[in-house]
Chain A
Amino acid sequence: MTNISFVREKPLPQLPPPITESTTIGWIRKNLFSGWLSTLLTIFSVYFLYICLKDFIPWAYGGNWSAGSIRECLDTNPDVACFSVIGARWRQLLFGFYPYEEYWRPILTFILLFVSVTPILSRRFAKYFWISLIYPGLAVWLLWGGSVWPVFSIYLAFVFSGLGFYIARNQFKLSTGLSLMIAVISLIVFYLFLASPFVSLFKYILPINLVVIESMQFGGFLLSMIIGFSGIAASFPIGILLALGRQSDLPLVKMICVGFIEFIRGVPLITLLFVASVLLNYFLPPGTSFDIIVRVIIMVTIFSAAYMAEVIRGGLAALPVGQHEASAALGLSYWQSQRLIIMPQALKISIPGIVNTFIGLFKDTTLVSIISLMDPVGLASMIRAHRNWNGIYWELYVAVGLMFFVCCFGMSQYSQYLERKLKTDNS
């Protein structure tokens, strides 16, 4: 029998690969020309790109940014893009009819948005959660103006009721249910009796005011963002409750939630927006009338809550069954285990789905142009109807489309980044 033993004395060093494997030439061979079909596709694609860009690049690059009307553009040079419409109207596209001097307010609100979202998304800054809590009131005051005290009083009402809850539970040792009821009562009491005197008093002592802006002056991207963000933020708690209700063992609760979710998801958003603009007044006590934007935000919130509920339901389903059992075995009540164990994990899993729902919602905000609110699409039609810009279409739509693309693409990349992080993150 031949000797089959072998021992390597010296380990072999790592050698660089042959030319065809590693360098750019190798890459090109593998990815672009790996077979006759691939080569054909590459040639065809390059030719296609050439045809598309051949006329587009000179048209866009030499664009006219400074003309005052489309007549001027055509007179100067009809073969290049007339981007002057954007140059003239970009402020309107971004802020609608918001007064120029007050632009710092929406800009500040936007920056603070990112600041307030960070404690929610990143564990490191979780202790700054109080910023996220005060942000909604701050944003409303910054955008709509008026005195700061009415908004402040709402927060004070919640603090008051929180105090009531705390005292009821810890001082008088009442059960959680009863304490909650006391909290709600104290909230109502504060609002009915203490709020107005408080507000008037502070308005007199320390007036802090911003210029009041009417809802009709909101437009453009500012409007899209307000509707989108407030819709998503408000739909979040409602969506959680709906998802839990849908999972529930109680048949009646489950039926109501399922019915609601299926109804909202079954109809197009445009019909709900129509309800907002025409029918919602019928469902409220005679004589009440809300701002149109508030009505739209209400319907958008309801719409988004149904989709959010489905996403969260998916997150709950992805959670291992053992989590429910472990928390029950430890003696936690239903609401405790939801708050401490189930929801944090389920929400973390659902974040990519939530971001996707938000992207969809943000795109859907363009539908408000059909009920005559001035979002970017509505503004584009309005600008096109103007004497100066009659007949322009490419440049305007490309600008609006590009703005949406940047926002939505950025958000979807972020959601994919989150998904990848969640997959590798084992905690």
Chain B
Amino acid sequence: MSDVITERAIDRSKMEISDEVAIHISDMNKWFGNFHVLRDINLEVRRGERIVVCGPSGSGKSTLIRCINRLEEHQQGKIIVDGTELSSDLKNIDKIRSEVGMCFQHFNLFPHLTILENCTLAPIWVRKMARKDAEETAMHYLEKVKIPEQADKFPGQLSGGQQQRVAIARSLCMKPQIMLFDEPTSSLDPEMIKEVLDTMIELAEEGMTMVCVTHEMGFARQVANRVIFMDEGQIVEENEPAEFFDNPKSDRTKLFLSQILGH
């Protein structure tokens, strides 16, 4: 859990938070068998917000964001994304998945396809784009994440940081309204963490709504507008970053922060 603090100044001109609600979760409960993994989750994310979710392992934070794009199913409560309720209706799930992009801890790039093919796959088969248009979009986003020259290589030939940036570009090619990040830097070594965080900061500067599960507290302090701390399946504390890090109110939060920031 390193504390890579971004060195450059962040351009906050476009980081506006509108009143529109992007994600609305009310009274959400989830069980894995008998284990009550998410308890009474109430969360509202407005467009433009950058939320960081932190907490000890096993607290349910990954499960929470995986419920948002239906990689996990919740048993009680409501989740409404961009006005569409998340239920077992396949049409709703498809609609939501095309608006929500996700990046995984282990990148999950498709090893048998080139970088370019990784990025054009979903636009061609889900958005039914023509190949040329899809490739143009893909190259645009690959340039954005600063690795356009790798387009014809295979994922196995790239470094970890490059792979994660490709994963971000792949999600962006679907032009989502919301981006979810599930511990995107936990598998990377320190030099590569910075390049991925820089990419995420640029996304934030453009006003993307983001929910990140991460241990990068420097990133949280500088970029997030709200930090949520979870433990044992429930939201224990949430606040603005400055207040959260300097004045934690709950004892549990204080314990957690002392462990990860202390050294």
Q: Which of A4, A8, A17 contacts B235 (CB 8 A)?
A: A8
A16 at the interface (CB under 8 A from B): yes
Contact across chains for B235 and A6 when beta carbons are under 8 A apart: yes
Residues of B with C-beta under 8 A to A5: 238-240, 243
Is there an interface contact between B75 and A7, defined as CB atoms closer than 8 Å?
Answer: no
Pick the 5 closest A-B CB pairs, nearest first: A17-B31, A5-B239, A7-B249, A14-B36, A12-B39
Q: List 28 A-B contacts (CB under 8 A).
A: A4-B226, A4-B238, A5-B239, A5-B240, A6-B235, A6-B238, A6-B239, A7-B239, A8-B235, A8-B236, A8-B237, A8-B250, A11-B231, A11-B234, A11-B252, A12-B39, A12-B233, A15-B29, A15-B36, A17-B31, A17-B33, A17-B34, A17-B75, A18-B75, A20-B75, A21-B33, A22-B31, A22-B33
A17 lies within 8 A of B36 (CB):
yes
Min C-beta distance of A189 to chain B, whole Å: 60
Task: Tell me the smallest distance from the CB of A2 to a CB of chain B, in Å.
Answer: 10
User: Inside 8 A of B234's CB, which chain A residues have their CB?
Assistant: 8, 11-12
What is the predominant secondary structure among interface residues of chain B facing chain A? strand
A22 touches B34 (CB 8 A): yes
Docked CA distance A11–B240 (Å): 21
User: Are A12 and B40 in contact (CB-based, < 8 A)?
Assistant: yes
B87 to chain A, nearest CB (A): 15
Judging by beta carbons under 8 Å apart, are A16 and B226 in contact? Answer: no
Q: Which chain A residues lie closer than 8 Å to B36 at the CB level?
A: 14-17
State how many angstroms separate the Cβ of A138 from the closest Cβ of chain B.
51
CB-based nearest A residue for B248: A7
Q: Which of A6, A17, A18, A22 contacts B237 (CB 8 A)?
A: A6
For A6, A11, A21, the residue with the greatest tally of chain B CB atoms inside 10 Å of its CB is A6
Chain A residues whose C-beta falls within 8 Å of the C-beta of B238 in the assembled complex: 4-6
Q: Please name all residues of chain A whose beta carbon is closer than 8 Å to the beta carbon of B76 when the two chains form the complex.
A: 18
What 0/1 pattern do residues 33 to 65 of B give for CB contact below 8 A with A?
110100110000000000000000000000000
Bound form: Cα–Cα A206–B252 in Å: 80
| Interfacial residues of chain B within 10-39, with CB under 8 A of chain A in the complex | 29, 31, 33-34, 36, 39
Q: How far is the CA of A16 from the CA of B243 in the complex (A)?
A: 35
A7 to B243, CA, bound (A): 12
Quick check: is B195 within 8 A (CB to CB) of the other chain?
no
Is B232 within 8 A of A11, CB to CB?
yes
Bound-complex Cα distance A12 to B31 (A): 14
* A residues near B29, Cβ cutoff 8 Å: 15
B88 smallest CB distance to A (angstroms): 11
Within 8 A of A (CB), among B208-263: 226, 231-240, 243, 249-250, 252
A7 CA / B239 CA spacing, docked (Å): 8
**Within the complex, what minimum Cβ distance (angstroms) separates A191 from chain B?**
58
- In the bound assembly, the distance between CA atoms of A35 and B36 in angstroms comes to 26
Complexed CA–CA distance, A7 and B250 (Å) = 7
A9 nearest CB neighbor, chain B only: B250
Measured in the bound complex, the distance between the Cα atoms of B243 and A378 in whole Å is: 84
Could you say which residues of chain A place their CB within 8 Å of the CB of B252?
Answer: 11
A16 touches B34 (CB 8 A): yes
Shortest CB-to-CB span from B80 to chain A, Å, is 19
Alpha-carbon gap, A7 to B240, bound state (A): 12
Which residue of chain B lies nearest to A16 when distances are taken between CB atoms in the complex? Answer: B34
Contact at A21–B39, with CB atoms within 8 Å?
no
Complex alpha-carbon distance, A6 and B238, angstroms? 5
